Copies of this chain bind each other. A is one copy, B any other.
Amino acid sequence: MKLLEYQAKEVLASLGIAIPPGEVARTPDEAAWACGRLGPVAVKAQVPVGGRGKAGGIKVARTPDEARRAAEQIIGMDIKGFKVPLVYCEAALEIEREIYLGFTVDRDARANILMLSAKGGMDIEQVADDSPDSIARLYPNPWRGPLDFELTQLVFDAGLGDLARPLMAMIKKLYRAVPDYDALTAEINPLVVTKKGDVVAGDAKLEIDDNAAWRHKDLEQKYGALIEGDPYEVEAKKRGLTYVSLDGDIGIIGNGAGLCMSTLDLVQRAGGRPSNFCDIGGGAKAEVVENALAVILMNPKVKGVVINVFGGITRGDEVAKGIITARDNLNMKLPLVVRLSGTNEEEGREILKRNGIEPGVNAWAAAQKIVELTKSDAPTTAAARGSLPGERGGE
């Protein structure tokens, strides 16, 4: 779960990290009132993705009127596929210097890594390319956490020895996000040293491990509904699916991430453009297939769907029956190509054919078939799509 900036800051504040005063605004008026209370503010788009500054998602407002106008422009704008649901109005800081402080999982090292650099701010990735040595790194032992002497070394390595005390305290607090919140990434960039000498989180990024969501239900309840910008991903999450939106027009369903990803590769190779990645895991029960199809069909751009299932333990005929049930329940009329493999695959293909579903002999054939069926198609009508979950759910 990727938290929005204001949410990440609330969590970091609960760990004792100083953040500037700020208020969430869902409307331009709320932004104006917030500015009235806070004085000059930065009005910041709240989206779970980087680069919002360059996309025009951050504006400085000195007066309530300016804040209202900024919020009018920002709320609802699209940033890298996320529609901005609200803004965060934060008291402007008098910046003396900007530091980079980040924690993440280094999957190659199978370890956590803490990074600190005196060259904080927007260009940190450039800094990493140009002068990697200016980013000091520490791999804390995962049971012990960072030890004082390791933090001392980190701070001096980063050339920030004059700030050793406040920085070491800050890093220890930030690292609490690992044991306390199962954080995968926790980043403060810039970490601002103000002209008064305070050390304050200027921005904050926090990603919590979805595998540990059961330990952090409070976060999910408090923030979960607001976070995902993509409506299909939100719906998929509700239905317990592993789903990522893409910008093509062919729906993809596979069981297993690798199989699903290779189906995507094949569709693209055949000249098509996938609308999503959707892994339904093992088994391929009718209910799960129905959920996956329902989410994919929510997207009006989708012209057809390809399903790639390898039956490990589940039999091919059962999978075929499940797919037909799902299609019929959704009253789906769009082209549907299914590639079935594993036990009883021949029987399964027979059942599909009898029910008007195109069976692929292998994954490559299935990919070519769905591309062929969707290329010539006229724009889809609502009728062909069947009943959409939005319509059924009264959303």
Q: What are the residues of chain B within 8 A of A143 when measuring CB–CB?
A: 141, 143-144
A148-186 vs B, Cβ < 8 Å mask (1 yes, 0 no):
000000000000000000000000000000000000000
| A residues contacting the other copy or chain, number (CB 8 A) | 3
Q: How far is the CA of A143 from the CA of B140 in the complex (A)?
A: 13
Q: How far is the CB of A255 from chain B (nearest CB, A)?
A: 32
Q: Considering the complex, give the chain B residue whose CB is closest to the CB of A144.
A: B143
Q: How far is the CA of A143 from the CA of B179 in the complex (A)?
A: 13
A9-28 vs B, Cβ < 8 Å mask (1 yes, 0 no):
00000000000000000000
**Chain A, interface SS category:** loop
Oligomer: number of copies: 2
A117-146 vs B, Cβ < 8 Å mask (1 yes, 0 no):
000000000000000000000000101100
Q: What are the residues of chain B within 8 A of A141 when measuring CB–CB?
A: 143
Q: What are the residues of chain B within 8 A of A144 when measuring CB–CB?
A: 143
Q: How far is the CA of A141 from the CA of B141 in the complex (A)?
A: 14
* Contact residues, A5-46 vs B (CB, 8 A): none
Q: How far is the CB of A289 from chain B (nearest CB, A)?
A: 37
* Contact residues, A77-95 vs B (CB, 8 A): none
Q: How far is the CB of A92 from chain B (nearest CB, A)?
A: 39
Q: Considering the complex, give the chain B residue whose CB is closest to the CB of A145.
A: B143
Q: How far is the CA of A144 from the CA of B144 in the complex (A)?
A: 7
Q: How far is the CB of A125 from chain B (nearest CB, A)?
A: 34
Q: How far is the CB of A364 from chain B (nearest CB, A)?
A: 47
Q: How far is the CA of A141 from the CA of B143 in the complex (A)?
A: 10
Q: How far is the CA of A144 from the CA of B141 in the complex (A)?
A: 11
Q: Considering the complex, give the chain B residue whose CB is closest to the CB of A141.
A: B143
Q: How far is the CB of A324 from chain B (nearest CB, A)?
A: 45
Q: How far is the CB of A144 from chain B (nearest CB, A)?
A: 5
Q: How far is the CA of A144 from the CA of B145 in the complex (A)?
A: 11
Q: How far is the CA of A214 from the CA of B307 in the complex (A)?
A: 65
Q: How far is the CB of A44 from chain B (nearest CB, A)?
A: 38
Q: How far is the CA of A24 from the CA of B144 in the complex (A)?
A: 40
Q: How far is the CB of A146 from chain B (nearest CB, A)?
A: 13
Q: How far is the CB of A203 from chain B (nearest CB, A)?
A: 32
Q: How far is the CA of A299 from the CA of B170 in the complex (A)?
A: 51
A216-251 vs B, Cβ < 8 Å mask (1 yes, 0 no):
000000000000000000000000000000000000
Q: How far is the CA of A143 from the CA of B142 in the complex (A)?
A: 10
Q: How far is the CA of A143 from the CA of B143 in the complex (A)?
A: 6
Q: How far is the CA of A54 from the CA of B141 in the complex (A)?
A: 49
Q: How far is the CA of A153 from the CA of B22 in the complex (A)?
A: 51
Q: How far is the CA of A141 from the CA of B142 in the complex (A)?
A: 14
Q: How far is the CB of A215 from chain B (nearest CB, A)?
A: 15
Q: How far is the CB of A148 from chain B (nearest CB, A)?
A: 14
Q: How far is the CB of A379 from chain B (nearest CB, A)?
A: 57
Q: How far is the CA of A60 from the CA of B141 in the complex (A)?
A: 52
Q: How far is the CB of A175 from chain B (nearest CB, A)?
A: 15
Q: How far is the CB of A9 from chain B (nearest CB, A)?
A: 27
Q: How far is the CA of A218 from the CA of B27 in the complex (A)?
A: 47
Q: How far is the CB of A147 from chain B (nearest CB, A)?
A: 10
3 A-B residue pairings within 8 Å (CB atoms): A141-B143, A143-B143, A143-B144
Closest 3 CB pairs of A and B: A143-B143, A143-B144, A141-B143
